[in-house]
Every structure is written in C-alpha cells, then in structure tokens.
Copies of this chain bind each other. A is one copy, B any other.
Amino acid sequence: MVAAPVSLDTLCVNSIRFLAIDAVNQAKSGHPGLPMGAAPMGYALWDKVMRHNPKNPKWFNRDRFVLSAGHGCMLLYALLHLTGYDSVSLEDIKQFRQWGSKTPGHPETFETAGVEVTTGPLGSGVANAVGLAIAEAHLAARFNRPDCTVVDHYTYVIMGDGCNQEGVASEACSLAGHLKLGKLIALYDDNHISIDGDTGVSFTEDVLKRYEAYGWHVQHVPNGNTDVDGITRAIGAAKAVKDRPSLIKVTTTIGYGSPNKSNTGGVHGTPLGSEEAQLTRESLGWDYGLFEVPQEAHDQFRQAVERGAAAEAEWNRTLSDYRKSYPDAAAEFERMLRGELPQGWDRDLPMYTPEDKGLATRKHSQLCLAALGPRLPELIGGSADLTHSNYTDIKGETGSFQAETPEKRYLHFGVREHAMAAVINGIAYHDSGLIPYGGTFLVFADYMRGSMRLSALSGLGVLYILTHDSIGVGEDGPTHQPVETMASLRAMPNMVVVRPGDGNETSGAYRVAIRNRKRPTVLALSRQGMPNQANSSAEKVAQGAYVLEDCAGVPELILIGTGSELNLCVQAARQLTAMGRRIRVVSMPSMELFEEQSPAYQDSVLPAAVRKRLVVEAAAAFGWHKYIGLDGDSVTMGRFGASAPGGTCMEKFGFTTANVVARAQALLAA
C-alpha cells in the first residue's frame, strides 16, 4: 500500500500538533488537546493571514494575536518557533513548563516575546482583544491621514468553549458589537469538550446566534480539523466585513489524531503519554522523530521572516512619508510609541491650601483629570456606567468613543466592570503609549478582580479610579460600602493602592499613577468631602507615608490615617496635644509605596521604638498590623456597613474625633 501524498498544509499543521504532543509529554504536564484540534486555525492565521515580523515582535503595525484559550499555549509556542521568533527556540519548547523557561504553562507577555497577552484565566483574552481593537481604532482615527495610513492592523483571537461561557467574554463581546469593531476577528474552537467532559452537560446555547444578537458577523467552518482553505476563506470574508466584529465558529475535534483520546475530556489537560503519541503518529502518518520538524514545513513557516521584514520595511517607508507630511502628528505618534510622557504633563495638577474648600477626593480626581487631559493626549478611559458618580469625565471634552467617533477618548463601558478592566488591560497591551483608566465604585473591584490581577501580573500601567471608598458611601448600604476591598487589593503583588487624604494627596496620587507605566494603580477615592491639610504633600505621596504633623521630641503615640480619616487623626492629635501628649500624625496613602522606601526612611516615619500606634481607617483592620504590631490598636471596621446617611454611618461605627481620642488615651494608658 502506498500512502497518499501528504500536502504541505498537512505537513505544517501536523508539525504544530507534534511539537505540542512531544512538549507536553516531555513536561509530563500540559494541554495537548487544543493545539491538536486548533493547529489548522493557527497555521492559517500565522502562515496565510497575519502580518507580523518574527524578527521584531514589537513592530508596531503587526496584527495582534490572542490565544484566549491560554491553556493551549503549546499552539502559540509552536507557531512562534516555527515562524522564526528568536524568543522560542526548539530548546525552549523542550523546556516547556520548566523553571526559568520561555515556555511557561500559560502564555505570559513578560516571559516570551511575541506573546501579546497573558492568558489562562478563561474569557479574559478575548476581552483583552476588544481593548487591542479599541486601541487600534482609536489610534487609526487620530493619526491616519487620507494619504497616509500608519495604523492599520487586525486583532485575531482563538477562543474556546470555556471562554464563551465566561461572563467577562460576554460583557466584552457585547461591547465590541456595540462599538462595531470591524477589525476584531475571533475564531471559536468549537470542540464540544471541556474538563468535565462533553459540553452537553452544561453548555448547549446557540453561540453564533448570541454573537449575532451582539451585532457580530458570524460564520461556521464545519471541518476545522483539516480544512485550512475553509478557515482561510472565512477569515477573508470576516476581513471584508468592516462594520462588525466577526466570530468564526470552527468545529474541531479536541486531540485530533489521537486514536483513543481525541474527543474526550482526558486529552484536554493531560499528556498523551508516549504510547498514545506513537499511535497518533501512526494515525496521522507522521514518520518524524520527537520534536522533529520536516524541512518542507520548516521552510514554509519561515517564509514569515521575509514577509514580516518586507511588511515592516514598507510600513517604515510609510512612516517616513508621514514624518515629512505630518511632522507634528508624527512626533506625537512616535513619542507615544516610545512610551515617553510629554514635557510638563503634570504642570497643571492642582495644589491646595487649607483655605481651599475641602472636596471629596473623587472631585479632586475630576480636577486632576481636567488638568491632565489637555497635556496627556494618550489618556483614554471611562467608567462602567458611573461617569457622574466616579467623575471620570475629562472636563471640556465632548462625545465618546463610538463606532462613528473612534477618535474620542472617553469610553462608556456600560455596566460591565469585568470587561472594563480587561479592555483597559488590552489597551495597555497594545503598547502604544496609551494610558487607560477605568472607573467604578471601589466595592465593585470585586466584579473585575480577575482582570485586575492580570494587570498586576503582566505589569500594565492602567489606572483604576475607584470611588465611594468606605461606609462614607452612606445610604446605598453595605452592598455598596467597601470594608475589605482595600485590604484585598493591598494583598495583591505589584498592585499600588493609593488612598489620598485631601486635594494635594490626590494630585500626588495621579503623579504616581501616571508614572506607573509598568504596573497598575488603584486610586481609592471618597464620596464625601474632607478638608485640605496644612502640611499635606503631593510629592510625598510617592513615598507612601510621611509625617504630616509632629510633636517636639519623641512621640508617645503615632496616629496613622488615610483618606477621609486623615483629618480625624489631625483633629484627635490636636486635642491630645492640648492635653500635653506628644503625638505624631502619619499620613499613609499607600502601603506599597512605603514598603519600597529605605529602612532608614521607614524608621524616620515609624520609629521602631514607638510601639503605641493607632491606625484610623474606615475599612477592615486586616493588613494594618504590619504597622501597629501586637502593641498598637486600630479604629477600623470589624463588620459590614449599614444603610444610613454617610455621616451617621461614620459616627455610629466610631469614626469620630472623640472616639479616636478615647482609643488613643486607652493605648497611652496601657
């Protein structure tokens, strides 16, 4: 019997499959099923469709690819390796999932050049892709000229059944449909299998119809296992539809080619094992060794290098023309791409004296946005339908980013907190200098925490403008009053939480947040007003904590306050001082920034010998013992809040000068 001749396409597709099979087997850990089923999609995209430059993974105008089903990362690593990215050598693939390797168990931007988005938590990748597509549309509208197109790329996604079950994807894809993001094209790997087995046990909705309801263009490729041409044609049709995002359902068999494990949950996240790998080799007619790539396939894939170089060269010529024809726009565009902040960006941030009327820090925040808006054209953001509560608008600007007005930089996310966080992450992943922000109530950080964690993990310089930061919220009651939320965010590595105590500190918080281009910042802002302090400092916010009011000599007791409770500390200190006590007041807008200071500075603020320390914050005490130790005390919240006017809540829960004084006295007497 003579074997049928194997097409080059098949050779290429199977090269992906066996790199995945062999790497997962070698690691004795990983997810072979998706790469085996989705290899034709990956091949079609990376070989036939996408513009990308393997030798410059950061080339600005590349098409973006997001593997939303991040567990299938061997698909991505195989494609990076095969198309010639230096970041993933064959040796790296052999080191799949090992300590220090470039091929971790899920794709991580900070580990592997060519990985656009950190994925793994399902649904988040496609939501990030919505942000990438927004960034592209926005920059294209701002910078392209009729005779010169410097921004022009697609955003491609491979998502799985799991992604399509997650709410974050639903939210983001509804928004994408509303915004008519025509250059967003998602391929849905419809393999009917998730970890619990057949999706028939939990997921039987009509996915295409749902996306149609969102306003997407939808198609179906019934044979995703081998029909590379069909996939390629469908992508072409999707590209032709410019006024809607596209979903292409590609029906595949998970673990395609494995005689005993394909189409089972068992191939989702477990190595095939050497025996089944051998049977799969036989079943697919694969005569090559472990990690071996046939020369013809290698040569085919590596054409991406030349194609990519040519594409970038062409774009460089366009950019060169653009520089000549539109020097100002080009200068701004290139400044943004370099990630440089403009000169004097923070010049208009407001400063205050105690004579200035005390405002809510959410109002101070609005004034900061008004001051930054004109000087920071890269600022882009909005609110999850709480614009007039969060005060996230940029004063003086009208209109918002809509299908017809993509040049606008205000984003109406709708009541979609999780998508908001994922979308601003996506804008940051676009890596084009945009500074994205998103606002909601602090308590609803809980709705988007999955994506906030990814901001922190991937080091994305996004701003979370989170208002209504305590029981001071008042009447809306405990469902809307954060108690534990700040602690939960402070616990997160690489997340900077700033809770400013007045106007100057709010300006300082923005300075920190804008400078934090490689990590996210949470601004925890009050609903209610508070006075401006005489000695508050915008600059010192960057140190996390500083001495706001001091006594002569060594303090007997240190009051530590944040946000709206800072003034309680100041007032209590005044009364205690009048009683002859030596009291220091420390403002601590940010634990994380304080932790980064030198031990000497830390000791200058909180001397080791002064053990009587009282923290005042209308939030859970959890985490504060790092500063008050076993000998200090706290005026904090030991329970959820209650519905009543904010001032009443504050009083009933003990946030009064009298109570702070009493607790300080008890501590002094102890």
A177 to B70, CA, bound (A): 27
How far does the Cβ of A643 sit from chain B's closest Cβ, in whole Å?
A: 3
List A residues 109-132 near B (Cβ within 8 Å): 118-123
Please pick, from B385, B452, B643, the residue contacting A202 in the complex, using a CB distance under 8 A. B385
Given contacts A99-B648, A493-B639, contact A415 B165 (CB under 8 A): yes
Number of copies: 2
Given contacts A446-B450, A480-B105, A625-B626, contact A196 B383 (CB under 8 A): yes
Cβ–Cβ contact A644 & B203, under 8 A: no
- Which residues of B sit under 8 angstroms from A122, Cβ to Cβ? 415
Cβ–Cβ contact B209 & A213, under 8 A: yes
* Count of A interface residues, CB-CB < 8 Å: 116
A549, CB-defined interface residue at 8 Å: no
- Which residues of B sit under 8 angstroms from A561, Cβ to Cβ? none
A629 to B122, CA, bound (A): 39
- Which residues of B sit under 8 angstroms from A352, Cβ to Cβ? none
How far does the Cβ of A434 sit from chain B's closest Cβ, in whole Å?
A: 20
How far does the Cβ of A116 sit from chain B's closest Cβ, in whole Å?
A: 15
Main secondary structure of the interface of A (DSSP, over half): loop
A212 to B201, CA, bound (A): 19
Q: What are 13 A-B contacts defined by CB distance under 8 Å? A: A100-B642, A101-B643, A106-B480, A165-B171, A177-B204, A196-B388, A201-B414, A205-B213, A205-B214, A209-B210, A484-B493, A491-B623, A622-B623
Q: Which of A82-90, A337-345, A470-478 contacts B (4 or more CB under 8 A)?
A: A470-478
Closest to A269 in B: B389
A194, CB-defined interface residue at 8 Å: yes
Given contacts A120-B479, A196-B383, A479-B121, contact A642 B491 (CB under 8 A): no
- Which residues of B sit under 8 angstroms from A443, Cβ to Cβ? 121, 453
How far does the Cβ of A35 sit from chain B's closest Cβ, in whole Å?
A: 16
Given contacts A165-B416, A178-B205, contact A195 B477 (CB under 8 A): no
A212 to B479, CA, bound (A): 31
List A residues 24-67 near B (Cβ within 8 Å): 27, 29-30
- Which residues of B sit under 8 angstroms from A30, Cβ to Cβ? 475
Given contacts A104-B642, A630-B630, A643-B106, contact A415 B194 (CB under 8 A): yes
A316 to B296, CA, bound (A): 79
A314 to B171, CA, bound (A): 45
Cβ–Cβ contact B165 & A167, under 8 A: no
A544, CB-defined interface residue at 8 Å: no
- Which residues of B sit under 8 angstroms from A177, Cβ to Cβ? 204-205
How far does the Cβ of A475 sit from chain B's closest Cβ, in whole Å?
A: 4
Closest 7 CB pairs of A and B: A167-B167, A104-B643, A202-B414, A120-B479, A629-B630, A99-B644, A488-B488
Given contacts A213-B209, A454-B479, contact A195 B389 (CB under 8 A): yes
How far does the Cβ of A441 sit from chain B's closest Cβ, in whole Å?
A: 9
Chain A 166-205 per-residue mask, 1 if CB under 8 angstroms from chain B, else 0: 1111110011011000000000000000111001011111
Cβ–Cβ contact B99 & A194, under 8 A: no
Cβ–Cβ contact A487 & B622, under 8 A: yes
Given contacts A174-B205, A177-B205, contact A105 B196 (CB under 8 A): no
A178 to B206, CA, bound (A): 10
How far does the Cβ of A341 sit from chain B's closest Cβ, in whole Å?
A: 27
List A residues 612-660 near B (Cβ within 8 Å): 620, 622-623, 625-626, 629-631, 637-640, 642-645, 648-649, 652
A530 to B71, CA, bound (A): 27
How far does the Cβ of A389 sit from chain B's closest Cβ, in whole Å?
A: 7
Given contacts A215-B204, A413-B202, A623-B487, contact A418 B167 (CB under 8 A): yes
A258, CB-defined interface residue at 8 Å: no
Cβ–Cβ contact B450 & A643, under 8 A: no
A457 to B474, CA, bound (A): 16
- Which residues of B sit under 8 angstroms from A263, Cβ to Cβ? none
How far does the Cβ of A359 sit from chain B's closest Cβ, in whole Å?
A: 19
Chain A 502-544 per-residue mask, 1 if CB under 8 angstroms from chain B, else 0: 0000000000000000000000000000000000000000000
- Which residues of B sit under 8 angstroms from A323, Cβ to Cβ? none
A108, CB-defined interface residue at 8 Å: yes
Given contacts A167-B166, A416-B165, A645-B29, contact A457 B484 (CB under 8 A): no
- Which residues of B sit under 8 angstroms from A640, Cβ to Cβ? 456-457, 493-494
- Which residues of B sit under 8 angstroms from A415, Cβ to Cβ? 122-123, 161-163, 165-166, 194, 203
A638 to B386, CA, bound (A): 34
Cβ–Cβ contact B652 & A120, under 8 A: no
Cβ–Cβ contact A484 & B479, under 8 A: no
- Which residues of B sit under 8 angstroms from A100, Cβ to Cβ? 642, 644
